[in-house]
Structures are given as structure tokens and as C-alpha cells.
Amino acid sequence: MWIDPITLHNKSKLMKDYNAASENIMNKFDYLPYDSDSYRQRVVDLSERSFERDELASLLKVLNEGWGAKETTLHNIERLKDEKSVVVIGGQQAGLLTGPLYTIHKIISIIHFAKEKEKQLNIPVIPVFWIAGEDHDFAEINHIMMQNGQNMEKVKINHRINEKKPVSSVKLDKEITSEWLHSVFRGLNETEYTNSIYKLVEEELDRADSYVDFFARIVLKLFKDEGIVLIDSDNSLVRKAESEFFCSLIKKQLEISEGVHRVLQELRQDGYSISVDVDENDAHLFYHMNGERVLLVRTEDGQWIGKQNQCSFSTEELLQIAESSPELLSNNVVTRPAMQELLFPSLAFLGGHGEVGYWSLLKPVFHAMQIKMPPVLPRLSFTLVDRKVEKKLRLLSLNATKAVNSGVNLEKGNWLLKQTYPAIDELTEQVQTAIKLAHKPLRDLAGSISPDLNGLAEKNLFYIQEHVEFLQESVVKSLKDKNHKVLQDFNTIQINLQPEGGLQERCWNIIPFINNYGLDLIGDLVNQEYQYKSDHYIIYL
């Protein structure tokens, strides 16, 4: 395995300025993410705060033991009781078989950065992954993408959910999920690792009750030697630990909502595109009603109501819910980060580019809670290149960096046209020009005899040229048939390095890669040397 850092071309203005530490965007954060002094200062700042470490460690132990965590994870949970210990944290929804590759990349980033900082700071630094179990958009996680011939297709689980229930409360249908799992593995090439991986996943499915359980168990198996600690934000034990923080968020709602709305306007005026819409009356909290999440807003007279008027509470009533039944509340994208930081002594938050974007709104949330926003570090981003794809790149003299950024469809078209001499499009253009020139005297004569014949002559020329184009298409089709193997190689490179016009990590799942290279691939990826300021890494397996 060797790695090659590359530059991505399609970066947002926000990320370009963030990586360059531009004052326009960095003033929305409390720390510079690429400055090592930021993390030393962060440790000092965290030492001035108090955390319920024993309570947190206790609930984390219950959760992770329930998911089959190994000693490495349980040891890290125990280390969290150390007053000097800190965590590196990030999170994602509970995707099937871990979902798109970027979830795996995020976990690798958290583990790698925690190891790096533990060596530098000489204190316990624990990797924590926050499973957003309260998310209710099942359509986002009910499938994985798999290669089918020369295309990627959704392999979707046949489980219908009509209610907006949190994913952590959606029970697995073992029979349906087992059938789906079989269809996924049926689409893989059988290798020396296939049976053992299938058995591992099937065993974890048998032990899981919900989609969050299934996700957590697989993550802990894939990263069994890395000590990753998991937390499900929708678990009742976690909600209980969050009770006092919900009360604080409720009391500070006006300051939070006005501050976030103001910062969003400032960012947009500076030309930054943020994919979050906020309003000054947003409560930034959900109420769980009859098993479904209801987004709350704050009225002018101080009532807290469902966005569709499903429910209504006074501030006193909502505070009582937070104190006595915190499992009925959950955070939205604005307040979830603050809740993470209130629970954990976070050295850093690692997230994708979109997450860095919406965190740029959140300084008022943290300051309203009288804490600082942690350093926000963009996670690592990879494209995995297996040996077959690497060989095809080499044989076709294609540049992997260009393929990741732009794909290879243009190169494929150019290669095909060069298989005739002169090139078919060039020859077709020459023939059509010659026909138009030879046809001109006849058109002129027809026009001079009758205006009606002029239109007929133009139509006649059009038909002749249309027949030439038909012949061109037939020649191209014949060329494609003749050069099928090489064109297939171009398609293989395209589907692996820029599937559906985007990064591999947004489309592919980890299963095909560990099927080819085994579970040791995970440890190999964790133990590479990375620079977090690099846009992207091509990793040759």
C-alpha cells in the first residue's frame, strides 16, 4: 500500500478560505485547526471545565458492551475517567453495512488524529464516534451502492417505514435484512475472504435489534483493534445525561437562534454557500410525539409549538419535560454539536466539508452555553485504487489524479476516435463540407427556377448529410464493438475513481474492498501517515 496526496479541483469558496486560514471565515471559529498550539490551548481551556466523567464512562460502557466491544474500546472508556483525558469526536447516521465509504474515512480520521495527538500532548486522547440515532430519514440509509456491470446501482432493503421514527427505534426485520444481505454478497466476486466476512456480518445481524445496533456492531468488529468508542445519541441513558443541557439550551434559545441567524446572513454576504436554513424563531430542538420527531419553533408570545402545530408548550412545561422525560427531546443540526461538547471534553471535532460549513454558523451556540467551539478539522478523504484498476490506468497512460477530479469519459471518446485514420469525426466533417460544396450549383439552379424548389434543395442537402451522420454512427458502433475490451477498461476506471461523476467515497461501500483485501485493510489504512491539510489521498492497495 502506498498513498499519494492530491489536490481536488471542485472545492467550495468556504473550504478554500478555511484551508488558507482566511480571516473572513476563521473569525467564525475559536481555534485555528492546523496550528498545533491550538490543541495545547484547547487542553488548557478544557481543564477549566468540569465533566461528569464517571457517569459518562458508565453509560458508554453499557452501550459498547451491549454492541460486543472488545477490550481496546472498554479500556479507552475507562481512560475517560482520567481528568486529563480528552476525546476526538465526529459522527454520522447509522448506514447499512456502515453506509458510504466516507463514514469509514471519518472513523479512520478520528482514530488516526487521536493517536497523533496523544503522542504530541502526552495525555490520553480517546476516539469517539457519535451515531446520530435520532435521525429519521430512513431513505438515506436503506441501501448501499454496488457495482453492477458498468454501472452503480442501489441495493435497497425491502423494509417500508412510513412514520418519521428515529432510526435507533426502527427494529430490524431479520428475515428481510438477511435476504438483502445475501443479495449484496451475491454481487461480489468470491475471494478467500468472502465467506468469513459474510459470516461475521450475519452473526452481528443475528445479535442486533435495530439498525443502529447493526451499524455499531459492524463498526466495532471492523475497528476491533483501534479502541473506537461509540455513542448512540438517541439512547435513553444518553438522553438522561443530557437533561441539564437541554434545560440550558431551552433557556438560551433566543440568544442561540438570533446569533445563528445573524452569522448565516454575514456568511452569505461574504459569498459563502451554507446548506442550512435557519430562522430567528427556530427552537433547534425536536419533540418526540407518538414515536415521531416534531420540529419546534418559538412564537412571539413565548410558546414552543410544533412546526405544523402538532403540539404546544410553555417554557416551563418544556423545561419540565427536559428534567423528567429528556428522552422526548432531541437536537437538530444546530444544537447537536453543542450537546456533544457539553458531554465530552472534546479536543477536536472532525467532519466533512459540509459539516465544516454548518459549524461556521455555530459560534453563537457555544458562546451562549459559555463554552468555546472546539477546533474543527476537515476529515481525511480517500480514493482506494485496487491493483486491477491501477494496471488499467498504467496500460492506458491515464493520470489517476485527473481521473479522480474529472473522470475518463473524455479520454475514452478521444481514444475511440483515434482508432481510425483520419479520425472518423474529422473525416465526416470533410465529407459533409465536400457534399455541401458539390451540392451548391444544384441548389442555386433550383432556386433560380422556382422559389419553391429552393426549400426542396435545402431539404435534400439535409437528408444527404443525415445519411452521412448515420454512416458515422454505424462506424462508431462498429469501432466500439471491435474495441469493447479497451472501452470496458475505461468504464472500469470511471466507475471506480469517479462513480456517478463524484468522489468514490460518496458512492462505494467498504464491503467490496475488504472482500478483496481482508479485514486487515482497515488497520493498514489507519496506520498510514497523513497530513490533514491535504485535500485528498489516492491510496494504491
Residue 50 CA: distances (Å) to CA of 79, 123, 342, 459: 16, 17, 9, 84
Residue 305 in grid coordinates: 409549538
Question: For 145, phi and psi rounded to 5 degrees?
Answer: -95, 135
Distance CA 248, CA 46 (A): 19
pLDDT in tens, 142-169: 999 999 988 999 999 998 877 777 888 8
Q: Is 500 exposed, middle or buried (0-12, 13-18, 19+ CB in 10 A)?
A: middle
pLDDT at 91: 96
Sign of CA dihedral 12, 13, 18, 19: positive
pLDDT in tens, 201-250: 999 999 999 999 999 999 999 999 999 999 999 999 999 999 999 999 99
pLDDT at 429: 81
Instruction: Please count the residues of the chain.
Output: 541
| Mean pLDDT per 10-residue section of the chain, whose length is 541 residues | 95 95 96 97 98 97 98 98 98 96 98 98 98 85 92 92 78 94 96 97 96 97 97 95 97 96 95 90 93 90 91 96 96 95 98 96 97 98 97 96 96 79 70 83 83 85 88 76 82 96 97 97 97 96 96
pLDDT at 139: 86
Three-state SS at 450: coil
pLDDT at 136: 73
pLDDT at 156: 95
Three-state SS at 313: strand
From 374, 381, 362, 373, select the one nearest 88 (Cα to Cα): 374
pLDDT at 422: 59
From 216, 242, 210, 209, select the one nearest 330 (Cα to Cα): 242
80 Cβ contact list (under 8 Å, min separation 6): 53, 56, 57, 60, 87, 124, 126, 229
| Mean pLDDT across the chain | 93
pLDDT in tens, 35-71: 999 999 999 999 999 999 999 999 999 999 999 999 9
Q: Where are the domains of the chain?
A: 388-517
Distance CA 411, CA 403 (A): 10
Distance CA 427, CA 205 (A): 60
* pTM for this entry: 0.89
Provide the CA 13 distance to its chain's centre, in angstroms.
19
Distance CA 62, CA 358 (A): 32
